[in-house]
Structure 1
Amino acid sequence: MTTTTLAPAAPRVPVTRAYRFELVKLVAQWRIRLLLLACWLAPAVFVAGVSRQGTLPTDTLFGRWMHATGWAGPLVTLGFAGSWALPLLTSVVAGDVFAAEDRLGTWRHLLVAVRSPRRIFAAKALAALTVLLVLVTGLAVSGAAGGLLAVGNRPLVGLDGHLLSPGDAALKVLLAWLCALAPTLALAGIGLLGSVALGRSPMGLLLPALVALAMQLAQLMPLPVAVRLALPGYAFLSWNGLFTGPVQAGPLLVGVAVALVWAVAATALARFLFLRRDFTGPAHDGSGRRALVLGALLPAALLTVTVGVLTPTAGAAGSGIGQDKVQRSVATAFAHLYRLQTAELNRPDVTEAQLHVTAACDKGSDRVEPEGPGNDWRCVVSWRLPGVEATGTAVYQLDIAPDGRFVADGDGPKEVNGYFLVRTSTGDEPNPLWQFDGNVELLPAPSKG
């Protein structure tokens, strides 16, 4: 009589080992290596080159200060990255991490080696997240290094005109990039979902970029505040509030929280679909109608829920840009920048309290309600100097974007807000009161008391 001894089942591969394997596979791809090289070198070259030019990208936030401080460079890089670079990076990394196995037909080999779909999903998601973090870190570090080497560690002018010390500017630049990680994770979750649900279809690879483009177009429209804040890409814009005094924390925290909710929900749905996939087929071109329906229902459900939650917080269904907010923002920025101009012209220093700056803003006609975005805003700023009876006035034309950012263009008198060069410690610079950027907080101001 013979006995047959069954071989013990092989243990499952730990997640850490599978993670290292997936990370090596990602980094071994030539396109990932090119992206790593570009993210760690291109921003430094770009920022250093632009900082040496006579013409600055003044249409980009903080672009007009690239001659004055090295800390403007990483913020200009962040503005570009949020619009174009980060969506494309998430598409290439997260949008292809599962689909690559479908194209190569290697799912069976991977399942035999790891023996756990759950561990495979965790390893691939963590590997993609690690590569994205390295890419984002490269963009931030490279942009800062290029600016500091080309211009130097100097104070930065905030969005309300107040001067940030180099240390404070460095901290807020770091926080701005950390806030941008939240919408990047949301796009990465969408990329994982597309890679799982659409298989070898190129739409899975394009999905994060297409979603990001749709959100950018939506942010350009005059949407209600609650809808604007409910979009996961809003955190690519809300970091602007870090550079005002006091910090506009409301929109910033809401934007980060919404983006993280989208990241968790999209990743969870991708995992749900992956664990229920049939791997017996030789190819996979998508998880079928059910996956597509679930993938379409997720953003609709999230948007509905977040809009419902944020509507009471937003306070109204309007744009959030009102006359009082615009007047306060313009008056505050003018007061800070007037002091900066005074110091550059070697005049006696005054404080904001001594200036008593006020602003009267409208949209050019009594028949037009002074609210909402547009390039037809007009503000008359008034101030008083100590010991001078006459009241000074200056006119500005404002172009206010739907997200609250505005550009104020001086319209006289020329001696105050006209274009002329001011000699500073870093060289001749345009009059700081000629043109300046500002930011209107879309949410209502918190009540005091």
Structure 2
Amino acid sequence: MTTTTTGVPRTPTPTASTAPERTTRRPGTGTVLRWEVAKLVAQARTRYALLVCLIAPIAIVLVFNGQQQSPSDTIYGRQIHTSGYAAPLFILAFGSQWIFPMLAALVAGDIFANEDQHGTWKTILTRSVTRSQIFWAKTLAATLFTVVSLAVLEASTIGSSLLIIGTQPLIGLGGQLIPSGTALPLVIACWATALAPQIGFTALAILLSVKTRNPAAGVAVPVALGLVMQLIGTLGGIDLTRRFLLTTPLDSWHGLLAEHPFHGPLTFGLAVSAAWTAVCLASAHVSLCRRDITGG
């Protein structure tokens, strides 16, 4: 006996050829950057560093304001009691010796080497991201920390100095009297000149972090190199070499406070900082992309 099926026709069962294809979208560099920023925010070291940048200038200004003698051996040290605009310039000159390189290297010197130390490279690369994406995301995260830390340090230094010492006029490097309304934007601009060499030191720390695979070396060596550059810059007879050191642009703000401002050292310092940044990042990128990290 033959049977026939009546009713609603059956929907054919999807086969391998008819099933809808699911496309997996690979995460972009922005997604990787958010991962890296989230990791930095979660680290106690990052939060404590920014807290120190916020609190330390207040304590320094209070200490110097309470002392009878002024640190006259440093630029603007003699005016630290007479103008609230002098203290930020004094701290700016002192910070360029080792504080700024240390801030730049604190995260950048560890951000790649930390993956080597914990053997997490293979885990990261299984997230369907390329080495270039990881490199630029980590680089941007480290640079972001450098910019934020410098901005917090600048705001705290200038704000506490004006509140504690006052808004008296500032004496320029040419002996001219700079009124308060003009002094404030000048001091802010002087601090802004430190950003380019700071990014240069960040790139240097990234290079050392990739090359050495050692977090301690990545953080400590840029600071040591900064001190060596400062020492070389004080020696006579090597003016041409001094111009190409990464620490020299940290003094380019002097031209902004001259009686007749000049911007030659600032412009040249920006070019030097950009060259250091480009060379260090290019070398670090090539080294990371060519490295064999199959072992972890």
- TM-score higher than 0.5: yes
Q: How far apart in 2 are the matches of 1:41 and 1:204?
A: 26
- The alignment of Structure 1 onto Structure 2 pairs a total of residues equal to 282
Partner residue of 1:147?
A: 161
1:54 to 68, 78, 85: 68
Q: How far apart in 1 are the matches of 2:32 and 2:255?
A: 41
Secondary structure of the corresponding residue to residue 251 of structure 2: helix
Distance of aligned partners of 1:217 and 1:6 in 2 relative to their CA distance in 1, 3 Å threshold = farther
Partner residue of 2:116?
A: 102
Note the 1:162-181 alignment, pairs <5 A.
162-181=176-195
1:120 to 124, 134, 140: 134
Structure having the higher strand fraction is: 1
Partner residue of 2:81?
A: 67
Note the 1:192-231 alignment, pairs <5 A.
192-200=206-214, 202-231=216-245
2:143 aligned with 1:135: no
| C-alpha displacement of 1:279 | 2.0
Note the 1:275-290 alignment, pairs <5 A.
275-282=289-296
The one of the two structures with greater contact order (alpha-carbon pairs below 8 A, sep at least 6) is 2
2:24 aligned with 1:10: yes
Note the 1:424-435 alignment, pairs <5 A.
none
Q: How far apart in 1 are the matches of 2:198 and 2:136?
A: 18
| C-alpha displacement of 1:233 | 1.0
Structure 1 gap segments, 5+ residues each: 283-449
Partner residue of 1:32?
A: 46
Q: How far apart in 1 are the matches of 2:21 and 2:87?
A: 62
TM-score (ref. length: structure 1)? 0.60
Higher mean C-alpha deviation, range 132-141 or range 201-210: 201-210
Structure 2 gap segments, 5+ residues each: 1-14
Q: How far apart in 1 are the matches of 2:109 and 2:224?
A: 12
- Preserved CA contact (<8 Å) 1:238 1:255: yes
TM-score (ref. length: structure 2)? 0.89
Percent identity between the aligned chains?
36
Q: How far apart in 2 are the matches of 1:58 and 1:229?
A: 26
Distance of aligned partners of 1:34 and 1:151 in 2 relative to their CA distance in 1, 3 Å threshold = same
Distance of aligned partners of 1:134 and 1:247 in 2 relative to their CA distance in 1, 3 Å threshold = same
- Across the aligned residues of Structure 1 and Structure 2, the Cα RMSD in angstroms comes to 1.9
Q: How far apart in 1 are the matches of 2:178 and 2:93?
A: 19
| C-alpha displacement of 1:6 | 10
Distance of aligned partners of 1:2 and 1:242 in 2 relative to their CA distance in 1, 3 Å threshold = closer
Note the 1:225-244 alignment, pairs <5 A.
225-244=239-258
Partner residue of 1:23?
A: 37
Distance of aligned partners of 1:195 and 1:5 in 2 relative to their CA distance in 1, 3 Å threshold = farther
Secondary structure of the corresponding residue to residue 46 of structure 2: helix
Partner residue of 1:77?
A: 91
Structure having the higher helix fraction is: 2
Q: How far apart in 1 are the matches of 2:105 and 2:143?
A: 12
Per-residue CA distance 1:304-358 (angstroms, 9 max, x = gap): xxxxxxxxxxxxxxxxxxxxxxxxxxxxxxxxxxxxxxxxxxxxxxxxxxxxxxx
Amino acid in the other structure paired with 1:112: T
Partner residue of 1:443?
A: none
Q: How far apart in 1 are the matches of 2:168 and 2:289?
A: 52
Note the 1:343-362 alignment, pairs <5 A.
none
